[in-house]
Structure 1
């Protein structure tokens, strides 16, 4: 299933915060984005490169990727042959439940310090998890495989020193300004906010707000607003709303505008995502 043709298949659980994708890309470039869930992927063929936490990383065949919730990253093929990979998105509440069952004594949820891990065993576990989800495993089997996979990822990362404590936060003033702007974006993500309006709400200059927001959340306010719109679009699509209606409700110009950004962020179209459940 490789070659010149790009393809992607998507699966979404109807009753749990679980999603999975299997894809082959040569030319597709992911826009800088993040997920609300933990994301665990395994590269099957080729190699993909991505920027995360201010550095470049490459995941070649057999390597595992681990992204924390809301961790900003992008991604594209490392060479002209492209790459094939599987990725599973697991809601933080499921991860917290597994850690509670393991009687882990951690402060909060784990934060993976290394976005690329080397473990053939873990890669095999992730492929099995993805296959079980895609074939419609029973809820009991699904929960068992999710738990064993999360436990394996956490133990491997911990033994390798790849679980880190939360990073040092930016200066209090920057955090406060960014948080005020973030609050307005969450309240009014579908509205055409201007940089002046956002800066006035935060109580600072546009330049100061941009630098503060970038430092705290890892992306520009406009990128954050677009991501909020896309996340809202996903929820409405799951609820059965047609893509054209969703586009205008969440603040995009039209369906084509929504589709363009949805594909850049998630590698699939809104219609494909809606039909995945």
Structure 2
């Protein structure tokens, strides 16, 4: 069995990152990104759940995740899978599209479209291959335009869940590093603890505690990218220690905080 490996690239000044990886043993914990994430499977098969259904991506298929789409991921068999993925901040997608008609929405997380796959593969190769900035921007424009034209259901911003779930989510965003309790969420939402749990799971695809951990991990990524030491980052983002942060960072993002720190362009 081949060993797991990953190679990561991130821009130092724009919300764009890319990873090339092979995983046979690694299993992604359920998580989401605050970016659009477009991936392509090169070899093997990747199984994952997203939006309440099970999916499998095989060679040539494109994966499209909206911001905050909860999903997991694992190899569908012992041979593992190799894939490329690009993460694009919503503000960058808006810039590419010229701000027209709001942000796109991708209803299907797996798309079989050779033209999209070719565009995404070219963009990814340019990012990890050190192509000139002008060429990267050109391929970025081609890929985003193609994704929206060929795979988006409609160019609108997805509706934000309201009511109980939204009030609980707002509290977690206000206090991401605090020891928030179920009673705190119930008080903020104006209902029982169990009603909050059910509503939150239905609206956001994960438990409130998982969502709070994800907020902490996102802030950890930002701090690490700014050069804050990993131990200090762990303390500032509510993790027990550096090893605790490293364990969850790897489970959700597929690489260690140290590897992410080293992935500057």
Name the TM-score, length of structure 2 as normaliser: 0.94
For residues 27-82 of structure 1, give each alpha carbon's deviation from its aligned partner in whole angstroms, at most 9, with x where no partner exists.
11111111111111000000001111100111001111111111111111111100
- The answer to whether the 8 A contact 1:49-1:59 is kept is yes
Question: CA offset at residue 235 of structure 1?
Answer: 0.7
More off after superposition, 19-28 vs 112-121: 112-121
Q: Structure 2 CA distance, aligned partners of 1:255 and 1:28?
A: 20
Q: Partners of 1:229 and 1:98 in 2: how far apart?
A: 29
Task: State the superposition RMSD in angstroms.
Answer: 1.7
For the pair 1:150 / 2:144, whether they are aligned, the reply is yes
Partner of 1:276: 263
Q: 1:252, CA displacement in angstroms?
A: 0.6
CA distance in 2, matches of 1:82, 1:135: 24
Structure 1 residue 31 corresponds to structure 2 residue 29: yes
Provide the rounded CA distance (Å) in 1 between the counterparts of 2:235 and 2:243.
11
Q: 1:148 to 1:178 in 2, by over 3 A?
A: same
Contact 2:217 2:249 in 1 (8 A): yes
User: Is the 8 Å Cα contact of residues 57 and 110 (structure 2) preserved in structure 1?
Assistant: yes
Deviation of the 1:154 alpha carbon: 1.4
Correspondence list, 1:223-262, <5 A: 223-262=210-249
Q: Which residue of 2 aligns with 1:72?
A: 70
Aligned to 2:112: 118
Q: Secondary structure at the match of 2:98?
A: helix
Question: Can you list the C-alpha shifts for 1:153-211, whole angstroms capped at 9, x where unaligned?
Answer: 112115xxx448667776xxxx2222222122112111112212221232221001111
- Say whether the 8 Å CA contact 1:112–1:164 is kept in structure 2: no
Who is 1:141 aligned against?
135
* Deviation at residue 139 of structure 1 after TM alignment: 2.3
TM-score (norm 1): 0.90
- Report the Cα distance in structure 2 between the residues aligned to 1:252 and 1:134, rounded to whole angstroms: 31
Structure 2's unaligned 5+ residue stretches are none
Cα separation, 2, equivalents of 1:54 and 1:179: 20
- Which residues of 2 match residues 1-277 of structure 1 at below 5 A? 3-100=1-98, 106=101, 108-158=102-152, 162-163=153-154, 175-277=162-264
Give the aligned length.
Answer: 264
